[in-house]
Amino acid sequence: MSYRVGIDIGGTFTDFALLKGEQVILHKNLSTPADRSLGVMNGLQTLAEKEGLTLSDFLGQCDAIVHGTTVADNTLIEMNGAVTGLITTEGFRDEVEYRRGFKEDIWDVRLEPPKPITPRRRRLTVPERVLFDGSVHKALNEDAVREACRRLKKQNVESVAVSLLFSFVSPVHELRVAEILAEELPGVPVSLSHQVLPRSPEYDRTSTTVVNAYVAPRVTDYLEKLVSRLQEGGYRHQLMVMQASGGVMTKEYIEGSPIRVLASGPAGGVIGSAHVGGAKGFEHLLCVDMGGTSYDMSLVLNGAAPAVAGWNMHHRNLVGVPMVQVETLGAGGGSICHVKNGEVQVGPASAGSEPGPICYGKGGTQPTVTDALLMLGMLSVDAEFAGGSFSLSAEGVSEAFQAIANDMDAVVGVDYGPEDAAFDCWRLVNANMIQAVRRTTAGKGIDPKDMVMLAYGGNGPAFAAVHADALGIRKVLVPKASPTFSALGTLVAKPSIDEERSFTCSAQAPDLDKLKTLWQELGERAAKYFADANFSLDKVSANYQVNMRYRGQNWALTFDMHSAPGLDDLSFVDDSLGAKALAAFNERHMQEFGHVREGELPEIIGVRLKTTVDTPAPIVSQGFNATAVTATPPKTRRANLGEGFQPTPVFRGSDLVPGCVVTGPAIIAETFTTIVVYPGWTARVDDAGDYEMFRL
Amino acid sequence: MSFELNKRLAARRDPLPTAAEVDPVTASIIRGALETVCFEAATHLGRAASSPIINQSNERNASIIDANGRLALGSIGTPHLTFVTQLTVRYGLENLDDYDWGPGDVFLGNDPDYGGGHLPDYNVYAPVYDDHGELVLVQALQAHQGDTGGKDPGGFTLEATDIFTEGLAIPCVKLVHRGEKRKDIIKLIERNNRFATFSGDLAAMISGVQMSVRLLQEIIRKWGTDVVKAAVNYNIEHTEARFREEVANWPDGTHEATVFIDHDTQGTKDIKVHLSCDIKGDQLTVDLTGTDDRQELVGVWNTFGNSRGYIMTQLAAMVDPAIIKNEGLFNAVDIIIPENCIAHPPPNKPAALGSFHPACEITEAVCVALSELVPGRAAPQVYKIGMPNAVIGFDQHGMWMDQGVDARSMDVSAVQGIDGWGSCPAALGNLLLSQAEDAESRFPIINLSREMTTDAGGAGQWRGQPGSLNVKQVLEPTSAMAWMVSAAHPLRGMCGGDDGSSYTNHFEVGTPNEYQIDLAVSAQLPANAVIAYQHGGGAGFGPACLRDPEAVKEDVLDEYVSLGAARDKYGVVLTGTLEEYDLEVDFVATTKLREAMKAAITKHKSAETARGAGQ
């Protein structure tokens, strides 16, 4: 038997998805924050036992272990990365501090600055200058580089970022600086901007490179520790690591640019969604993941979750590498409900998991969204919660909402009790989340009503259908595996390399030789890493893309020019390429912006190559072949699903088999989540045991 | 086109008539929906436009106005535009029969004498009707254009004495009639603009408001016209109440401030902005009586709409930032701006440069006046930049302009408890300033330097961010224009903090022809000329000798502050060297030095008091 294991480490749980032939086995165990690799090994040990094997035999039979890690995110959250220095072009010392003028809140003059990764004393400049065409305007002053090294050494720098102007056009100076750094600061890792993010402009590239340098030692140390434990345990293949782009790649590739693992956890969930949705015949998905502290939204379009490179702000730092776009709203089960200035508000403060909502009974005193669900009867003290790890308690919940009602009495001026307050909190958090979805979709010119919603995370299925209603969506999917979706996603994600190169030329008469050379270079890089990872190159498929915009536009549109198996088919780079690119650009510009300019032609500003390797993924069943059965609820309870309190049927998820139909209003209590079937909605269980809810 | 029109446009407006009542939560939900529409409109424009001033410096703003002309919601963009936008729309609303308003229409206005700010700020707006034909809302999208078709490329003419010199003034014109673009009008407007990508920018504005109208119609259909109107009313009333609550917490009294501009564009010195903030209970009155009204001044005329908008920009920064920005702010404040002063000019005065100065001095004066009352939020939301170096050339595509929106640091003052940080004051925090690699790929220039200058931030218990020195070389002959201010009268320090550093500007640096621009210049630069623009630093807050000595040491290590300034300005004595990173505070020597400094200040104040008594 050969196995593939997907692993995702979260704050509380480490999730596992084991692919065994066509079967997927799910598992969760507690994370081990002090050394997270231990939690991974504990889970693998359990999976081995379930298979009746020793750990060594089990790992020996694993073809692939694919891993999503939060180590880079945690480094930025806790700001405990490497002591980092920056060497940059003379005159450009302060770009990362300026942030192109950006501030997160234009109305709040008391907003604190972000903690700098490279304070000014560790941002050093050297005389040198390359121009936009790659020519050297001023030679690199090597003595200045050596002096910068001396000063960085004096400050005990552990990692160095190098970002010189136009290095993405000609890296000659950056490469020489790296050589000198190796001589002067041996053993100190160096991040070169033309390797981390080979494109303009300078702030985007420099910030990304600085973050890379900051997280690199932590990510590398962690991965090396995990690889060592896995090898000791008997695993014989390369560890594959999830990237924010939605693909996975080897540890060796990741170590060249560790920033690529930042935000890779949510990306795994989106990739899992695309896989499940696609298998069930839905190509356009709105994916919503609601956990304890956040509501993550993402889009799957034409069966894929597009990774976008650009203005990705993470933990107040710009990270420009391609990322599956996941928008996060600070609204989750732990979001605190309160009254401020005569308004009921929900969040952004969260009770987290410790002490958590009042109903967790762990000392929480502030009412949360989860408490509101309990007040409204969507959750119950009678049922087990979070996989049976504990039960909820109603003690103190009603009183907390009564306090909100008291605060609102003067404003509302009518009889307003705790259930009213809980209901308004529920309405508000819904409204916040719906607006966030609208921003995510309409900002990209997408109407959500044309999509299917896929809900996961502990709280997502409790809200999904009511959000769908407001957004005009008529179908919601809730996979049985939704609580471990990110782990499933790492298993689904393909080994992939997605890189780009900047080059500006006319679209009407493009420099075909240069474009071909750039795509060839990207292809050769991908081939090297895939070959090193023992992937057969005939299983690689390539997606050749161009970035285009009207002269002066600040944002480029990216679209496919050619897709082909292998890495050597550049036959599409011929005299027709310009015309095809123009036609594709016009179509996209019309689609996104509602107009095409008369009398203006766009320009090509770069090429991109996305390469992926086909690997086995879990097979997802679809269809409704089982005979439809109207399920009978074992009980009812008083609940308000938006239309006032009424006796509401409550089903156990474990009782519902393929073919079962549940008509709303109803509540389905699953092992790790609660699914609410709102009035007007019906849920049915498909052949795979997944839920599909639809609007009547 | 008169003071009378300004009075009418600024007059308080009634709530929308509605039979519906709305609860606070529903009102909040509808407000969120409107905010999202504004966000989408602004994002659409930023992504589709080509002009760097729109898509990089983000001088654009989306707002929703109600059928009575009230600001229902001002969203993403720059506050300096948010609070001006509704007056242009009000002019259109006043004359909606004349302009034949109807569903599917899109209008444009930019006339400073008809509610506008200055000519470059094109305001494209579209009415939103419900399914029964009732006008409910207006979506407005405002953005600064690269040219306005006047005497000088870019729309800024240093010696202009009337609006006609500056370009095409449009009180209100219909661009789209019942869904069909009026090609004759659009062609006329495009013809009066030199900017190479103007037609694309205008197309992006039109498609942006059209998209918003569709979204707003969906919201009206979903909630019903009466409920949406009730929600708009509720939110405006709530904002007014919240602002008044904040004012009620300030002690009654009158607080005055006087701020000067160095000179007008022709050299007349010390242009005065004077205002008073009078607080009685929850009523705040801002009165600009005493502000300069010399009719011969050139270039320092700020439109009435702009003046009230810039007052509000600063006031909004000095209260709870969570207060929703809408008409309720204007309902809560009485604003008095005397006719004929530089903040309320007579008709046909030029307006382009007034949006810099005195607009920013009005903002600064509000901050100075209220600084003792609201020290935690006393940071002026300004750009004391004069008219920044606009480098203009022409190529095969038409006019290009590298207009000085480069990444830089300027005017970021401290507030109580927080040093100035970043590039610009918070109100400009939606900017995405221009980058060297983008600009050099498009224009024949090389950016040589843009670093902060040591000691160019105002000293204080909390320190102003140093200003940056932006140095650039032009590779081809180009024209360059600048108007320099804020040298004699830099940004004011607050509550005992030092003023920010001065702005300076040099052309043809490093050649025998090098010269400093003290006043204004419209120059032809030869190929390879170097220009160097020192931005003013942010001002300090509180006395510098109260700053934590360890913080001063950190500032020296980061070269925000020199060793000399640490001693002379802050009274901090350091041992060790910067080169070896081994600086330490000599606390004994520091205490002694600070005591001597305080004694000197006390002695100086006593002497001044005595002199005052003697007079």
Sequential DSSP letters for A193-226? HHHH--SS-HHHHHHHHHHHHHHHHHHHHHHHHH
* pLDDT greater than 60 at residue A276: yes
| B431 pLDDT above the threshold of 60 | yes
C-alpha to C-alpha distances, A622 to A477, A481, A485, B243, nearest whole angstrom: 12, 14, 17, 57
pLDDT of residue A387: 54
Q: Quick one: pLDDT at residue B453?
A: 98
Q: Which of chain A's residues have a Cβ under 8 Å away from the Cβ of B419?
A: 113
Distance from C-alpha of B420 to C-alpha of A450, rounded to nearest angstrom:
47
Coil, strand or helix at A598: coil
Task: Report whether pLDDT(A543) > 80.
Answer: yes
What distance in Å separates the CA atoms of residue A450 and residue B133, rounded to the nearest whole number?
28
Backbone angles phi, psi at B100, to 5 degrees: 55, 55
Q: Supply the pLDDT for residue B250.
A: 97
B321/A432 CB distance under 8 A: no
CA dist A208 and B118 (Å) reads 38
Nearest CA in chain A to B578: A121
Using a CB-CB cut-off of 8 Å, the residues of chain B touching A598 are 199
Paired tokens of B317: 């920064």
| Chain A residue numbers touching B23 (CB-CB < 8 A) | 412
Q: Is A201 on the interface with B (CB under 8 A)?
A: yes
Indicate yes or no: CB of B40 within 8 angstroms of CB of A100.
no
Using CA atoms, how far apart are residues B386 and B536, in angstroms rounded to an integer?
A: 11
pLDDT at B131: 97
pLDDT tens digits for range A463-499: 999 999 988 899 999 998 877 788 888 988 999 998 8
pTM: 0.88
Contact call for B36 and A105, based on CB within 8 A: no
Given a cut of 90, whether residue B570 has pLDDT beyond it is yes
Nearest CA in chain B to A101: B423
Model confidence at B134: pLDDT above 80? yes
Other beta carbons within 10 angstroms of residue A354's beta carbon come to 11
Q: Assess A525–B contact: CB distance below 8 Å, yes or no.
A: no
Summarised one tens digit per residue, pLDDT across range A325-335 is: 888 787 888 88
Res B322: pLDDT: 87
Q: Which of A150-159, A168-177, B434-443 has the lowest mean pLDDT?
A: B434-443
Strands A317-318 and B269-280 come out as: unpaired
Q: Is the dihedral of CA B439, B445, B446, B451 positive or negative?
A: negative
Confidence of residue A388 (pLDDT cuts 50, 70, 90): low
Interface test with A, best of B21, B31, B47, B239 (most A CBs within 10 A): B47
State residue A453's pLDDT score: 96
**Residue that wins the pLDDT comparison between B38 and B609:** B38
- Which residues sit opposite A126 in a β-bridge? A89
Residue type, A547: N
The per-residue pLDDT for range B356-380, each reduced to its tens digit, is 999 999 999 999 999 999 999 999 9
Q: Domain residues of chain A, as ranges?
A: 79-215, 496-613
Per 3-state DSSP, what percentage of chain B is helix, strand, and coil (rounded to 5)?
A: 35, 25, 45
**CB neighbour class for B496 (10 Å; exposed up to 12, middle 13-18, buried from 19):** middle
> What is the per-residue pLDDT across A8-17, written as a single tens digit (0 to 9) for each?
887 666 888 8
CA distance B130 to B216: 9
Question: Is the Cβ of A591 closer than 8 Å to some Cβ of chain B?
Answer: no
Yes or no, beta carbons of B435 and A201 under 8 Å apart: yes
Angle at CA of residue A219, ends A213 and A224, nearest 5°: 130
- How far off is chain A from B272, nearest CA to CA, in Å? 26
Q: Which residues of A touch B147 (CB under 8 A)?
A: none
Contact of A113 with chain B, judged by CB distance below 8 Å, is answered with yes
Query: Which letter, b or e, does each residue of B319-339 get, where b requires 16 or more Cβ atoms within 10 Å of its Cβ?
Result: bebebbbbbbbbbbbebebee
**Residues of chain A neighbouring B579 (CB-CB closer than 8 A):** 151
A588 shares contact with chain B (CB less than 8 Å): no
Contacts of B196 in chain A (CB under 8 A): 551-552
Q: Are A106 and B430 a contacting pair at CB < 8 A?
A: yes
Instruction: Tell me the backbone φ, ψ of residue B224, rounded to 5 degrees.
Output: 95, 145
Q: Which CATH architecture has domain A496-613?
A: 2-Layer Sandwich (3.30)
- What is the number of alpha carbons within 13 Å of residue A536 lying toward its C-beta? 5
Token pair 């590039």 is at which residue? B423
CA distance B383 to A534: 58
Given CB atoms, is A156 within the 8 Å cutoff of chain B?
Answer: no
CA distance B294 to chain A (A): 34
Name which of B94, B106, B115 is nearest B41 in CA terms: B106
Q: Are strands B135-144 and B121-129 parallel, antiparallel or unpaired?
A: antiparallel
Q: Give the residue from chain B lying closest to A411, CA to CA.
A: B24
Q: Which residues of B touch A125 (CB under 8 A)?
A: 451
Chain A hits for B441, Cβ within 8 Å: 132, 200, 504
Q: Which two tokens stand for residue A592?
A: 């996104």
Among candidates B44, B241, B437 on the partner chain, residue whose Cβ is nearest the Cβ of A132: B437
Please report the number of interchain residue pairs, chain A to chain B, with beta-carbon separation below 8 angstroms: 242
Say whether A109 and B39 touch across the interface (CB within 8 A).
Answer: no
| Residues whose CB falls within 8 Å of the CB of residue A101, separated by 6 or more in sequence, listed in order | B57, B407, B422, B423, B424, B428, B429, B431, B432, B433
Sheet holding A239-242, edge to edge: A23-30, A13-20, A3-9, A62-68, A239-242, A248-250
Q: Which residues of B touch A416 (CB under 8 A)?
A: none
Q: Do B377 and A109 touch (CB under 8 A)?
A: yes
Q: Cβ(A394)–Cβ(A377) under 8 Å?
A: no
Which residue in B50, B376, B431 is closest to A101 by CB distance?
B431
**Between vectors from CA B318 to CA B316 and to CA B324, what angle results, nearest 5°?**
35
Which residues of chain B make contact with A206, given a CB cutoff of 8 A? none
Which stretch of A84-88, A307-311, A565-569, B607-611 has the lowest confidence by average pLDDT?
A: B607-611
Is residue A596 within 8 A of residue A589, CB to CB? The reply is: yes
To 5 degrees, how large is the angle CA A397–CA A401–CA A406? 145
Half-sphere exposure of B553 (CA within 13 A, CB side): 16
**Chain B contact set for A109 (CB, 8 A):** 317-318, 321, 377, 379, 381, 415, 425-426
- Model confidence at A360, pLDDT cuts 50, 70, 90, reads confident
Nearest to B25 among A131, A341, A424 (CB): A424
Q: Please report the pLDDT score of residue A353 as a whole number.
A: 62
Can you tell me the distance from the alpha carbon of B341 to that of B293, in angstroms, rounded to the nearest whole number?
4
CA pair distance A624, A686, nearest whole angstrom:
5
Q: DSSP string of A529-574?
A: HHHHTT--GGGEEEEEEEEEEETT-SS-EEEEEEEEESS---TT-S
The answer, yes or no, to whether residue A386 has pLDDT greater than 60, is no
Instruction: Please say whether the beta carbons of A392 and A442 come within 8 A.
Output: no
- Between the alpha carbon of residue A414 and those of residues A238, A341, A418, A567, the distances in Å are 66, 18, 13, 70
Q: Which residues on adjacent β-strands are paired with residue A546?
A: A559, A607
* Ranges of each domain in chain B: 3-240, 386-542, 549-614
Mutation site, B183, B451, B580, interface A, largest A CB count within 10 A? B451
A213 within 8 A of A187, measured Cβ to Cβ: no
Q: Provide the residue type at A213 as one letter.
A: A
Nearest CA distance, B94 vs chain A (angstrom): 30
**Nearest chain B alpha carbon to A557:** B47
Q: Do B426 and A109 touch (CB under 8 A)?
A: yes
Q: Do B32 and A432 touch (CB under 8 A)?
A: yes
Pick the CATH number of A79-215 from 3.40.1360, 1.10.260, 3.40.50, 1.10.150: 3.40.1360
Question: Pick from B556, B560, B559, B558: which is nearest to B574 by CA?
Answer: B556
Separation between Cα atoms, residue B66 and residue B56, nearest integer Å:
29
- Contact present, B39 and B31 (Cβ < 8 Å): no
* Per-residue confidence (pLDDT) for residue A457, from 0 to 100: 79
Using one digit for the tens of pLDDT, what is the confidence trace for B180-200? 999 999 999 999 998 878 888
Q: What is the distance in angstroms between the Cα of A97 and the nearest Cα belonging to chain B?
A: 6
Mean pLDDT (chain B, rounded): 93
- Token code pair at residue A203: 């702030």
Mean pLDDT of B251-267: 97
Spatial separation of the C-alpha atoms in residues A115 and B381, rounded to whole Å: 23
Per the listing, tokens 């060839």 go with: A520
A550 vs B contacts (CB less than 8 Å): 50, 197, 200
Tell me phi and psi for residue B532, to 5 degrees: -135, 120
Closest CA to A296 of A469, A487, A457: A457
Which positions in chain B touch A552 (Cβ < 8 Å)? 49-52, 55, 196-197, 200, 442
Q: Do B451 and A137 touch (CB under 8 A)?
A: no
pLDDT value at residue A446: 66
- CB count in 10 Å sphere of residue A13: 22
Structure tokens given for B372: 């003792």
Instruction: State the CB neighbour count (10 A cutoff) for residue B585.
Output: 19
ipTM of this predicted complex?
0.94
B279/B161 Cα distance (integer angstroms): 37
Tens-place pLDDT, residues B222-237: 899 999 999 999 999 9
Tokens at residue A413, please? 């001026």
- pLDDT over 60 (residue B1): no
Q: Quote the mean pLDDT of chain A.
A: 89
Residue B8: its pLDDT value, please? 96
Q: Determine phi and psi for B443, rounding to 5 degrees.
A: -120, 155
B553 DSSP β-pair partners: none
